[in-house]
Structure 1
């Protein structure tokens, strides 16, 4: 059977260094590797708050598609498109929902309610929904009313490390995530102040996605007096990220919410014990034998978990071994594309 042709509508720069963009970039590549004809529709970068011009352009691109070509809509698009336009689309549609937008941190009540209402209305019009985790699937079905038969989990793939781990001395605590309030880097910094008497260094690697929060982190790092032991690197190259994972002893992300969290799979693939928070999809993503999870926004508990791994070598080794074993069983990006491809081929009207 010839794979069904498709289009993937993604706003802004597909090379943006976030987990969501990386997932969609790799999914697009994987679908094309199947021999599938997949167009990349680049929408304006103003989504999820589209300007009138960007909305008009997005609608025009979608209406120009032939009915046999299915379209995957990035979650920023599927949540905030004009519902009347979605209802008129010529072919079937698939929403790629990393997590519903109303669950984002830092929203005021008015904006949260508007995003919630609009995404609910749009999901009722979508042919199928792809999600990265069972957690997001539960939210979409139980809270947003999408029938379970119209939701498929396409777990992100993972690239296997090519070299051995060479842990640094003193131990390196690595955190990877964009500089955004949801990632909880401020909580990690506060936790690290409680560990001054232990030997460690720390790196927080990730693009400055929120400029105001980036300035807040810089000021917090300075005020806490951690500048000599903690580096906020901003965006790093793939080669540098590989080096950081390979030399780290612990992976730590004090996140306030994750719809999935690609970095946890990366940490598992490198055999790193994980300290994070019991929120969102994290408990589903981090095996209990491979990580320690605290409640969000609790620097004391986060510091205690880190201290345990820094001082109890046997416990750290047990978690590291479990992480490495879990990493070997993670799906590849070809597996992710196979799941999404099967959804596309099963859509009506092919």
Structure 2
């Protein structure tokens, strides 16, 4: 495989884990000598107009000889797009195009369409084992591949006094920054500061609720909403952090977890999400499947009952118990040494899509576009 097209959703503009993975995968493949074209597909994916879907079909090579794709080119489609375009993937299969789906997280909103798209694809690459398990459970798909995220090397965080807590994620209901604020509000008798780092434009209404919660608890001087940061400002926030939080209600992997560990910063996550895999990622020796008790660089907390108190309790324990604080830090520093880079991810993907594609049954001709 020497040429690959990566189709990404144009409507996801904030610094999401999926966007980071897609960008770093493209860079890694290019470093391996693969010609990569990244195309932002227009549409409010997984929703799109008929014209946008037909345009996507052209990018996939679904409409036959006149298609916008050369023979032998492999196309890798972000799962958010794929679950909104099952017809187009089926026609691409009929045209015998090599069309793979890169699935970051199973679709909760379009499971039927997703099942069709994944079935039609040449193959499916999941970015976590939890995503692969999810589509097995939802769709009975058992032959997907996994290409876990890489991590960029980073300097060890210096930390702060008093301890500084960081939560890096766009302000979105699933990321549950409201829970973080409510938990921290229960810890005002302890010394700490916190930053919520992430886009406040992805869901302005939710961002306003988070601001109101901070103000309502009188925490404006202790919890800062930083907006989306990149480059030196983001590096500075990471450098002053002592603890990272990722309490998403659903998470396929959680890149921010390994980004934290790359800096020697322990992480508290919500138990039962794919972030559990990320938390243990750098702590597993070759061939191991479980981390020994007490060796995790942080904690996976059960937040199924009274989540604010549960999260507050975990943070309180870290603040109060010097041995736990030191142990988590030591485990994070140890995990830092074992995190694979993005070149590993890129080589895994290249090896997967370079394998002979499976045969597809022919499908009927392209649909008629009746939209004016």
C-alpha distance in structure 2 between counterparts of 1:325 and 1:230, whole Å: 29
Matching residue of 1:105: none
C-alpha distance in structure 2 between counterparts of 1:306 and 1:238, whole Å: 28
Matching residue of 2:300: 293
Matching residue of 2:284: none
Q: CA distance change for structure 1 residues 52 and 88 in 2, over 3 Å: closer, same or farther?
A: closer
Q: How does 1:5-20 map to 2 (within 5 A)?
A: 5-12=3-10, 16-20=14-18
Matching residue of 2:288: none
What is the DSSP-based 3-state SS (H/G/I as helix, E as strand, rest coil) of the residue aligned with 1:202? Answer: strand
Asked if structure 1 preserves the Cα contact closer than 8 Å seen for 2:160 and 2:242, the reply is yes
C-alpha distance in structure 2 between counterparts of 1:344 and 1:256, whole Å: 32
Q: How does 1:77-156 map to 2 (within 5 A)?
A: 77-81=81-85, 83-89=86-92, 90=95, 91-102=97-108, 112=109, 115-148=110-143, 151-156=144-149
Pick the structure with more helix per residue. Answer: 1
Among 264, 274, 284, the residue aligned to 1:271: 264
1:42 Cα deviation (Å)?
2.1
C-alpha distance in structure 1 between counterparts of 2:341 and 2:159, whole Å: 25
TM-score, structure 1 as length reference: 0.91
Asked if structure 2 preserves the Cα contact closer than 8 Å seen for 1:12 and 1:44, the reply is yes
What is the DSSP-based 3-state SS (H/G/I as helix, E as strand, rest coil) of the residue aligned with 2:265? Answer: coil
Asked if structure 2 preserves the Cα contact closer than 8 Å seen for 1:93 and 1:127, the reply is yes
User: Computing the radius of gyration over CA atoms, which structure comes out larger, 1 or 2?
Assistant: 2
Among 179, 187, 198, the residue aligned to 1:187: 179
What is the DSSP-based 3-state SS (H/G/I as helix, E as strand, rest coil) of the residue aligned with 2:354? Answer: helix
C-alpha distance in structure 1 between counterparts of 2:87 and 2:112, whole Å: 14
C-alpha distance in structure 2 between counterparts of 1:125 and 1:272, whole Å: 42
Asked if structure 2 preserves the Cα contact closer than 8 Å seen for 1:15 and 1:22, the reply is no
1:164 Cα deviation (Å)?
4.0
Unaligned runs of at least 5 residues, structure 1? 103-111
Matching residue of 2:194: 202
1:279 Cα deviation (Å)?
2.5
Q: Which runs of 4+ in 1 moved over 6 A?
A: none
TM-score, structure 2 as length reference: 0.85
Unaligned runs of at least 5 residues, structure 2? 62-66, 281-294, 359-372
Among 302, 316, 323, the residue aligned to 1:314: 323
1:176 and 2:168 aligned: yes
What is the DSSP-based 3-state SS (H/G/I as helix, E as strand, rest coil) of the residue aligned with 2:83? Answer: helix
